[in-house]
């Protein structure tokens, strides 16, 4: 996954504040009213804007932002009203953070690595090649010290951070030809993003940086021979299955990508405690709901890809996984050399990962193998 830029309006002087003020004045004039309402906050009621890095109703992600706004607005009984602006409505995806930092809107919804050029430690908060799964990452954020560290990272951006959704496991991507042997990435032109792209480059791939809408055309034209984007549901939406038929797994490069809710730090600090509790609770809910929606949609999408598009779902060879596993460690260390905070975050995740892998090996991993043993299990009743 990568930052998806759907448009590129420049931040306007006056920004959303100007835009909204003009709209409100227009509406008041149209209604024939001379009385302009007192500032909302003076009545103990706040109005916030939430700018997203995805289109307004994008499945899972966009609906997560809508749910966040809805839970805050309804839950606070209107004391804090949040309006969602999808990517391209007021700001492009790439402008989302700047709009929040400038105070033109109060909060945004994206993913930590979108801000890697501003604060490098955000790279490690999104998803790490061969790193934590979504369940493990949530355990780290909430009960492993991750929230405090992530807040330290986002303070450098001028924001408060909440984990606000997760993609769960992604796929390894689409390939015109099956990757064989340890050196499969060597010389391959592939669209990829984030830390995974850096690992593929280290493995000899020629990585193309393309936005969401550019991937399918590049595959169709043969400019790239492979592409990673997300999981079955997100990939199906982009139509990648039309131009490459080998669908490799597992998605070692992005095992669980965290979404972020970033809030202008001053706006956050000015919230009274009860509204802080509302925002905190809404984010914990959205964090769960986005993962659940993407997970459920992936089941259906995977079935569609196999049945209707004759996609060949194929595991990466172990030799290749072993190779990129080693390279992942090297790339992570390299990125962590950029600054002390990056190393601090990486160290904390690696420490937590030891316990996570130990437990998952005897819990989820062992269980998921056991339920695939050849025994006959219960079946749904025949449909009438």
Number of helices (H), then strands (E), in the chain: 14, 11
* Minimum distance, C-beta of residue 273 to a copy of itself, in the bound complex (Å): 7
| Residue 363 touching a copy of itself (CB under 8 A) | yes
Tell me the CA end-to-end span of the chain in Å, nearest whole number. Answer: 42
Question: Is residue 83 a contact residue for a copy of itself (CB under 8 A)?
Answer: no
Which residues 49-78 are close enough to bind a copy of itself by CB under 8 A? 70-71, 74-78
How do 107-110 and 246-249 pair as beta strands?
Answer: unpaired
Q: Return the structure tokens found at 131.
A: 């790193």
**From 55, 110, 168, 194, residue interacting with a copy of itself (rule: CB under 8 A):** 168
CB of 11 to a copy of itself, least distance (A): 32
Select from 10, 38, 310, 374 the one that contacts a copy of itself (CB under 8 A): 374
The conformation of residue 192, written as its DSSP 8-state character, comes to -
CA angle, 268 as apex, 84 and 3 as ends, to 5°? 45
Q: Could you tell me the smallest distance in angstroms from the CB atom of residue 237 to a copy of itself?
A: 16
Quick one: 71 or 153, whose CB is closer to a copy of itself?
Answer: 71
Closest CB 254 distance from a copy of itself, rounded Å: 10
Q: Which is nearer to a copy of itself, 147 or 189 (CB)?
A: 147
* Residue 348 buriedness (CB in 10 A; 0-12 / 13-18 / 19+): middle
* Cα Rg, the chain, nearest whole Å: 22
Which member of 230, 241, 261, 298 binds a copy of itself (CB under 8 A)? 298
> In the complex, what is the shortest distance from the CB of residue 255 to a copy of itself, in angstroms, rounded to a whole number?
6
Applying the rule CB under 8 A, the residues between 203 and 232 that interact with a copy of itself are: 231-232
Q: Would you say how long the chain is, in residues?
A: 384
Binding of a copy of itself by 34 (CB under 8 A) = no
* 355 binds a copy of itself, rule: CB under 8 A: yes
Q: Which is nearer to a copy of itself, 23 or 148 (CB)?
A: 148
157 binds a copy of itself (CB under 8 A): no
Site size for a copy of itself (CB under 8 A): 104
DSSP output for 258-299: EEEEEEEHHHHHTS-HHHHHHHHHHHHHHHHHHHHHHHHHHH
Interface pick for a copy of itself out of 32, 221, 378, 384 (rule CB under 8 A): 378
H helix intervals, the chain:
15-30, 61-75, 96-101, 122-126, 134-143, 146-155, 194-202, 212-220, 232-238, 265-269, 273-309, 318-336, 340-362, 364-370
Is residue 357 a contact point for a copy of itself (CB under 8 A)?
yes
Q: Which is nearer to a copy of itself, 126 or 171 (CB)?
A: 171
Determine, following the binding rule CB under 8 A, whether residue 315 of this chain makes contact with a copy of itself. Answer: yes
Distances (CA, A) of 138 to 147, 155, 287: 9, 20, 9
Structure tokens at 274: 């009860």
Which residue in the set 192, 215, 258, 278 belongs to the binding site for a copy of itself (CB under 8 A)? 278
Q: How far is the CB of 14 from a copy of itself (least distance, A)?
A: 33
Assess 184 for contact with a copy of itself (CB under 8 A): no
Whether the Cβ atoms of residue 228 and residue 253 lie closer than 8 Å to each other:
yes
**Residues 330-349 close enough to bind a copy of itself by CB under 8 A:** 330, 332-333, 336, 343, 346-348
CA distance 120 to 291: 25
CA torsion sign for 71, 76, 77, 81 is: negative
Both tokens of 47, joined, read: 């109005």
Task: Give the per-residue contact string, 229-248, with a copy of itself (x = CB under 8 A; - = no).
Answer: --xx----------------
CB 158 within 8 A of CB 265: yes
Q: How far is the CB of 295 from a copy of itself (least distance, A)?
A: 4
Query: Which residues ranging from 123 to 142 are in contact with a copy of itself (CB under 8 A)?
Result: 130, 133-136, 138-142
């Amino acid at each position: 996954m990568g930052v998806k830029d759907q448009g590129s309006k420049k931040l306007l002087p006056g920004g959303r504040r100007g835009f909204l003020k003009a709209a409100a004045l227009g509406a008041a004039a149209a209604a024939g009213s001379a009385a302009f309402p007192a500032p909302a906050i003076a009545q103990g009621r706040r109005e916030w804007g939430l700018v997203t890095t995805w289109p307004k109703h994008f499945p899972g992600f966009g609906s997560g932002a809508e749910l966040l706004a809805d839970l805050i607005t309804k839950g606070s009984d209107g004391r804090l009203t949040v309006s969602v602006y999808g990517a391209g409505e007021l700001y492009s995806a790439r402008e989302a953070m700047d709009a929040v930092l400038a105070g033109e809107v109060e909060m945004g919804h994206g993913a930590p690595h979108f801000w890697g050029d501003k604060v490098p430690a955000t790279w490690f908060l999104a998803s790490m090649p061969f790193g934590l799964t979504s369940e493990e990452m949530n355990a780290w954020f909430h009960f492993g010290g991750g929230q405090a560290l992530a807040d330290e990272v986002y303070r450098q951006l001028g924001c408060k951070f909440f984990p606000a959704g997760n993609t769960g496991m992604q796929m390894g991507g689409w390939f015109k030809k099956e990757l064989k042997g340890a050196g499969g990435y060597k010389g391959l032109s592939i669209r990829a993003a984030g830390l995974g792209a850096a690992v593929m480059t280290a493995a000899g791939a020629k990585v193309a940086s393309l936005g969401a809408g550019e991937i399918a055309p590049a595959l169709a034209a043969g400019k790239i021979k492979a592409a990673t984007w997300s999981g079955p549901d997100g990939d199906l939406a982009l139509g990648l299955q039309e131009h490459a038929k080998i669908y490799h797994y597992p998605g070692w490069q992005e095992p669980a990508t965290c979404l972020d809710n970033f809030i202008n730090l001053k706006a956050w600090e000015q919230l009274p405690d009860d509204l802080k509790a509302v925002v905190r609770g809404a984010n914990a809910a959205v964090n769960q709901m986005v993962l659940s929606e993407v997970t459920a949609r992936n089941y259906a999408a995977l079935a569609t890809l196999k049945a209707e598009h004759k996609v060949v779902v194929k595991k990466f060879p172990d030799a290749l996984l072993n190779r990129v596993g080693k390279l992942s460690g090297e790339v992570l260390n390299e990125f962590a050399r950029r600054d002390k905070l990056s190393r601090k975050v990486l160290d904390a995740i690696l420490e937590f990962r030891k316990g996570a892998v130990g437990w998952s090996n005897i819990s989820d991993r062992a269980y998921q193998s056991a339920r695939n043993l050849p025994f006959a299990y219960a079946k749904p009743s025949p449909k009438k």
